[in-house]
Structure 1
Amino acid sequence: MATIDRFSGHADLYAQYRIDYPSELYEFLLTRIENRQKAWDCATGNGQVASELARYFEIVEATDISAQQLEQAVRKPNIQYTVCPAEQTVFADHSFDLITVAQALHWFDADAFHREVRRVGKPGALVAEWGYGGVQIDAAVDPIFNHFYEHIVGPYWDENRRHVEDRYARIPFPFSEVEQREFTIYRNWDLERFLNYLRTWSSVQKYIRQHGHDPVLWIADQLKSRWANGERQVRFPVFLRTGRKV
């Protein structure tokens, strides 16, 4: 399976406008981890998850295939960033107490990645994979957003995106003690912040490359009167699955 990189070309936008994850998700993970010596955050992007893990672990290894993304990453003394694919790393066998991958598993060769996880995870290591679905705002905005998602940029999503829509149900998870949880991200955004978040989508960037203009301008026109001035609460449903290496 060829390596897929959909984010290097707009790493600056990604670093500024991509969402982070709720504290409840990390609290859930931490209740299931006894040893906090070393964690691996795979496909770290701009280091959002790695930065949070660095608060709790002695060492965090964070990897991504995009050097441009890592140039934008949060710097902390106990985070080591490395450019490498998810499926083949330089880490020693049995290295990690926790392995995380956020909103990225669908870009991997999942079978090869899970083989690597079993190699580098310590016995009993916790494996956590999560993602998030489409934004929810209110009855006035949601139909416009859904039309944009499905019909304006819908044809420009990679087929891999379907794994997010079905919450990784078709991707095997070969670990023990499997648990699944749901969380919600709540953010208060003005319209400009929301539109710039949409510009981080791989489908939007693909549309721009093919057509030479920004499809987000369409939804901007549709939302001006509905958003009004100030901020609106936006919600993202998060799905998480965890398991242990035997």
Structure 2
Amino acid sequence: MKDNFSIESDNYAKYRPTYPAIFFDYLNSIVPSKQNAWDCGTGNGQVAYELAKTFACVFATDISQSQISHALQADNINYSVQPAEATNFEKNQFDLIVIAQAIHWFDYERFFEEVRRTAKRGGIICAVGYGRIEVSKQIDQRIKHFYQEIIGAYWDKERKYIDEHYNTIPFPFNEIQAPRFVNKLQWTREHLLGYLNMWSAVRHYIRQNGHNPVNQFEHELDGYWDNRQTKEVRFPLMLRIGQLADF
């Protein structure tokens, strides 16, 4: 698993999109037992924090100590620095395993073996992520150009799984067809720019070229989004949900 997000993890926690309450309501409806959940690749702990509202114990892991140091806290969340593919968890421990915007970084074969080892029989695995941000026709066109033409060559190869909406990720479980969800948030222009600055391709671009491409993109927003405006932004959720064989 790669670690592209330890640097400025405080900003990552600030600008990363959240997930809608209706998504967590749906998860709760399909997981009957609420004893133990694993938030794998927890990042800033936003998913762990929501799961902690309904599960007795939440175990949240990440390979970045910096991310975990800035994660949201609750009494029933246990954070630890561990790779997804090799943990110290017990066999048959989890009712639910969630991977939010992280599974595309994993060694799939090794991770799925760890899922089979640590999940309870009949347990649920949920890989969730969000697609490219949507704001308006004019702004979306500029984001698309920035994404593809300006920083396109700087994305890690794993980014293709997001571009393919997680449909091409191996998923050897009894798949459950889930509803479609769209996350709708109210953002300022500053929040959008902060979010773009967290993109791994932007970080790679800066390291190779010595300047930040988001600065030029900011000028392209002039006339479409001023600093005083709040706009609705939308993130279509990518979702793969499966059940471990109950045998």
| TM-score category of the 2 structures, normalised to the smaller one | over 0.9
Number of aligned residue pairs: give it. Answer: 244
Q: Give the counterpart of 2:89 among 88, 91, 96.
A: 91
Deviations 1:61-110 (A, max 9, x none): 00000001000001111000010100010000000000000111100011
| Cα distance in 1, alignment partners of residues 25 and 140 from structure 2 | 30
Segments of structure 1 that go 5 or more residues without pairing to the other structure are none
Q: Give the counterpart of 1:109 among 107, 128, 137.
A: 107
> 1:41–1:61: 8 Å Cα contact kept in structure 2?
yes
Q: CA RMSD in A?
A: 1.0
| Cα distance in 2, alignment partners of residues 212 and 181 from structure 1 | 43
Partner of 1:223: 221
Alignment of 1:119-158 (within 5 A): 119-158=117-156
Q: Alignment partner of 2:177: what SS?
A: strand
> 1:181–1:239: 8 Å Cα contact kept in structure 2?
no
Partner of 2:21: 23
Letter in 2 for 1:18: R
Partner of 2:176: 178
Deviations 1:158-191 (A, max 9, x none): 0100001112222211111432332111111111
| Cα distance in 1, alignment partners of residues 137 and 175 from structure 2 | 39
Aligned-residue offset at 1:218: 1.1
Deviations 1:38-67 (A, max 9, x none): 000000001000000000000000000000
TM-score of the pair, normalised by structure 2: 0.96
Aligned-residue offset at 1:214: 1.2
| Cα distance in 1, alignment partners of residues 2 and 138 from structure 2 | 36
Indicate yes or no: 2:60 matched with 1:62: yes
Relative to structure 2, which stretch is displaced further, 168-177 or 47-56?
168-177
| Cα distance in 2, alignment partners of residues 53 and 180 from structure 1 | 18
Partner of 2:44: 46
Letter in 2 for 1:46: N
> 2:166–2:240: 8 Å Cα contact kept in structure 1?
no
Q: Give the counterpart of 1:36 among 13, 29, 34.
A: 34
Aligned-residue offset at 1:231: 0.8
Deviations 1:24-43 (A, max 9, x none): 11111111011100000000
Q: Give the counterpart of 1:192 among 182, 190, 193.
A: 190
Aligned-residue offset at 1:206: 1.1
TM-score of the pair, normalised by structure 1: 0.97
- Identical aligned pairs, as a percentage? 44
Partner of 1:238: 237
Q: Alignment partner of 1:87: what SS?
A: coil
> 1:45–1:70: 8 Å Cα contact kept in structure 2?
yes
Q: Give the counterpart of 2:165 among 140, 152, 167.
A: 167
> 1:39–1:53: 8 Å Cα contact kept in structure 2?
yes
